[in-house]
DNA sequence: TTACGATACGGAGCGGTGTTCCGCTTTGTC
DNA sequence: GACAAAGCGGAACACCGCTCCGTATCGTAA
């Protein structure tokens, strides 16, 4: 496989110049709209912001997830790559895990509605969940394994379950100031350090 | 307190007989539809199942939350009342807390889409969140306080935050067999038992 | 029993959303 | 400059929540 291809990233050969321009315009507009109206903003709103028709959006990003993934791909990538780096640099594997989860939470919490979209099985969001899991689950697994091997946390925790739980905890952070997912996630990590539950 | 009153429970004097009949029919139909299509099933579907017009639904239950609350009121009530009972009967306050949370999770997990609706700020679901919090938060607070007083868990955890986190963790349980919120909630409880996080 | 106001009912209709589809425009090439 | 292919836009359709009002039903007083 010579080219990067996949979905929204790099040009993918032999597309018309105006099409490429539109793709970039769309990504910029979507990023902007996501900030103010959340990731499930009306398609029409994004189209209007970008100055294109709805057909153009659906042609470039068939499902909503494709658009969201394209917008946040860089940040997800950065988070994924931070895993091994933290593991190499931190005081201990568990410290690395804690820091990495901090990055993940920061990312989710600053993107309005993203956490909710991540588990929403309906709409075209299914692919979003898939992308996040495929990209980040192995990273999380590596950190977990290292911490287990170091004897810092109990074994048996599945990375998928942990990530999904953290994602769920980040849902709806904005709606009530009394709710701060970080405290609960800290509790979860403390729980991991317990040798065994009764 | 002589009368139950409030919203969807007991007759509330001087309503027409057919109206009361319809209210009961609606509750039964809604309960049935919620099982198969989740708590955000189309209003029209519930109306059709009950054999009434949509106007009748909105007259009896102005917001979706009112309908959901009416359908599940008994179970929420039972959960709330179980709190003090467990506290009196269990081996320790923390054991009671654990059992009570088990009841709460069982309830949420068996109602398709309820957990998600609980945090969804949009639609007419806001009142649902309010009802759950008002009814169950004090119960949770009592259990937490008792466990803290017994020295079984660290102080400082807010009941609202804990309940909301548990609710969030229960979201989307059906979509993937690898995800079981109970394990994570167990982890959370283990974390509570830690004296202090670093 | 009848007659009549109050009460409740039903569903057409409105506004908003996702998604499709096809006539028209733009682009790149010969 | 001409012409196919690629791309564009937005009208149109389906679905949903919610409102509103003409009509049907109920309870009661005569």
Burial of A124 (0-12, 13-18, 19+ CB in 10 A): middle
Radius of gyration of the CA atoms of chain B, in A: 19
Which pLDDT does position A13 carry in this prediction?
Answer: 54
DSSP chain B: -----SSSSS--SS--HHHHHHHHHHHHHHHHHHHHH-TT--HHHHHHHHT--HHHHHHH-SSHHHHHHHHHHHHHHHHHHHHHHHHHHSSSHHHHHHHHHHHHHHHHHHSTTHHHHHH--STT-HHHHHHHHHHHHHHHHHHHHHHHHTTSS-S---HHHHHHHHHHHTTTGGG-TT--HHHHHHHHHHHHHSS---
Closest by Cα among B61, B68, B74 to B4: B74
- Per the prediction, chain B carries an average pLDDT of 92
pLDDT at residue A79, rounded to an integer: 98
Rounded to an integer, what is the distance from CA A180 to the centroid of its chain? 19
Question: In angstroms, rounded to a whole number, what is the distance separating the alpha carbons of residues B93 and B139?
Answer: 12
What's the pLDDT at B174? Answer: 85
pLDDT-based confidence at residue A197 (cuts at 50, 70, 90): low
Closest Cα in chain A, distance from residue B88 (Å): 21
Q: Give the chain A residue nearest B164 (alpha carbons).
A: A179
Q: Measure the CA–CA gap between B9 and B96, rounded to whole angstroms.
A: 29
Q: For residue B13, what pLDDT is reported? A: 52
Per residue in B80-136, pLDDT (tens digit) is 999 999 999 999 999 999 999 999 999 999 999 999 999 887 778 999 999 999 999
pLDDT in tens, A20-64: 999 999 999 999 999 999 999 999 999 999 999 999 999 999 999
Q: Which domains does chain B have, with CATH numbers?
A: 17-60 (1.10.10.60), 64-193 (1.10.357.10)
Question: pLDDT band at A3, cuts 50/70/90?
Answer: very low
pLDDT average, residue stretch B48-59? 98
Is residue A122 very low, low, confident or very high in pLDDT (cuts 50, 70, 90)?
confident
Confidence bin at A74 (pLDDT 50/70/90):
very high
Average pLDDT over residues B57-82: 98
The pLDDT of residue B90 is 97
pLDDT band at A124 (very low <50, low <70, confident <90, very high): confident
The Cβ-side half-sphere exposure at A43, using a 13 Å CA radius, reads 17
> Alpha-carbon distance A181 to B85, whole Å?
30
B165–A161 CB contact, under 8 Å: no
CA separation for the pair A152, A150 (Å, rounded): 5
Using an 8 Å Cβ cutoff, are A198 and B186 in contact? no
> CB neighbours of A19 closer than 8 A, spacing ≥ 6?
A60
**pLDDT at residue A17 tops 60:** yes
Query: What pLDDT, on a 0 to 100 scale, did the predictor assign at position B3?
Result: 34
Residue A196 pLDDT: 61
A5 touches strand C (CB under 7 A): no
Contact A168 B172 (CB under 8 A): yes
How distant is C1' of D7 from CA of A132, in Å? 31
| Inter-chain touch A165–B184, beta carbons under 8 Å | yes
pLDDT of residue A2: 34
C29 C1' to A20 CA distance, Å:
19
pLDDT cut 90: percent of chain B above it? 84
Q: In whole angstroms, what is the distance from residue A162 CA to residue A139 CA? A: 12
């Amino acid at each position: 496989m010579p080219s990067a291809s996949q979905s929204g990233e790099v040009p993918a050969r032999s597309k018309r110049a105006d099409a490429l321009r539109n793709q970039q315009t769309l990504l910029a507009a979507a990023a902007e709209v996501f900030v103010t109206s959340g990731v499930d903003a009306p398609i029409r709103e994004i189209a209007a912001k970008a100055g294109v028709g709805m057909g153009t959006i659906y042609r470039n990003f068939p499902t909503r997830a494709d658009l969201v993934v394209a917008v946040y791909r860089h940040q997800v990538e950065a988070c994924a790559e931070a895993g091994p780096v933290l593991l190499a640099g931190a005081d201990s594997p568990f410290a690395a895990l804690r820091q990495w989860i901090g990055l993940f939470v920061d990312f989710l919490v600053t993107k309005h509605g993203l956490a909710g979209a991540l588990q929403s099985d309906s709409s075209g969001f299914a692919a979003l969940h898939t992308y996040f899991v495929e990209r980040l689950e192995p990273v999380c697994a590596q950190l977990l394994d290292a911490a287990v091997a170091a004897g810092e946390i109990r074994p048996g925790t599945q990375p998928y379950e942990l990530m999904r739980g953290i994602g769920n905890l980040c849902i709806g952070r904005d709606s009530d100031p009394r709710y701060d997912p970080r405290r609960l996630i800290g509790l979860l990590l403390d729980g991991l350090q317990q040798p065994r539950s009764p």
